[in-house]
Amino acid sequence: MTKWRKFKKSRPAAAPAYEIDHAAFASGLHVFADGACEPNPGPGGWGVAVFRDGIELYSERGGDADTTNNRMELTGLLKGIGAAKALNGPVTIWCDSMYCVKGANEWRHGWKKNGWQRGGPNADPKNRILLNAELWRSIDAALSGSDQITIRWCKGHAGIAGNERADELSNMGMALACGQASQDGLPFDFLTAEYRQLLA
């Protein structure tokens, strides 16, 4: 008689740890874009910081009193593309939103073919609605002919100075959208002392 043995399910291999190569941000042109919303939906903000050879050249921020996190991430990306195009050279745009990065690099091409809808013609109509379609159309138009722009993902809140700066700017934009400002009329500084030191 055959004796059956129990086999344990093999566990999937752990994802490799995300290693940050800070030297990668120290040379060349880099644009960091971010968005924030608290609560979601609710008031939100976006921020863009432009760096050349590790030095901040330009920053921009804005917000909306009634929005979503994804809309703010997309608005930050769109503003970042505009800033990158003005630099007239090879630029890397960094986002901590996989929705933005995958959408800009992969998904938008399929959405465009489908008339800015999700799924194919046989998909359930309610599942074909593409949220934020007008922003995706604007991003697609902005990226048209922009072969010197690369959009890449970076881990958020991981000590990458440019990402922390864009996060700070998005929080400033959110504070402005809410009508909150510090006593001197400037937006609150949301960076911790640790990240302030990294930016110095």
- Other Cβ atoms less than 10 A from the Cβ of 95: the count is 27
Q: Whole-prediction pTM value? A: 0.82
Separation of alpha carbons 71 and 77, rounded Å: 10
Quick: pLDDT tens for 79-106: 999 999 999 899 999 999 999 999 999 9
Longest pairwise C-alpha distance within the chain: 85
Which secondary-structure segment (H or E) carries 135?
helix 133-143
Nearest CA to 62 out of 142, 169, 182, 167 is that of: 169
pLDDT tens digit string along 106-154? 999 999 999 999 987 788 888 899 999 999 999 999 999 999 999 999 9
Is 164:198 a contact under the CB 8 Å cutoff?
A: yes
The DSSP symbol for 159 reads S
> What is the dihedral sign for C-alpha 145, 149, 151, 156?
negative
* Rounded distance between C-alpha atoms, residue 52 and residue 2, angstroms: 70
Q: Is the pLDDT of residue 174 over 90?
A: yes
pLDDT tops 80 at residue 188: no
Give residue-wise pLDDT tens across range 66-79: 999 999 999 999 99
The domains of the chain, with CATH numbers, are: 25-199 (3.30.420.10)
Give the HSE-up count for residue 116: Cα atoms under 13 Å, Cβ half-sphere.
11
pLDDT at 182 over 80: no
Percent of the chain with pLDDT over 70: 82
Q: Which residues contact 75 (CB under 8 A, 6 or more apart)?
A: 35, 46, 62, 135
**What count of Cα atoms within 13 Å lies in the side-chain half-sphere of residue 75?**
22
The pLDDT of residue 60 is 97
Confidence band of 58 (pLDDT split at 50, 70, 90): very high
H-run or E-run covering 151: strand 149-153
* Phi, psi (degrees; rounded to nearest 5) at 74: -65, -40
Residue 9 predicted with pLDDT over 60? no
pLDDT in tens, 21-47: 888 899 999 999 999 999 999 999 999
Of the pLDDT bands very low, low, confident and very high (cuts 50, 70, 90), residue 187 is very low
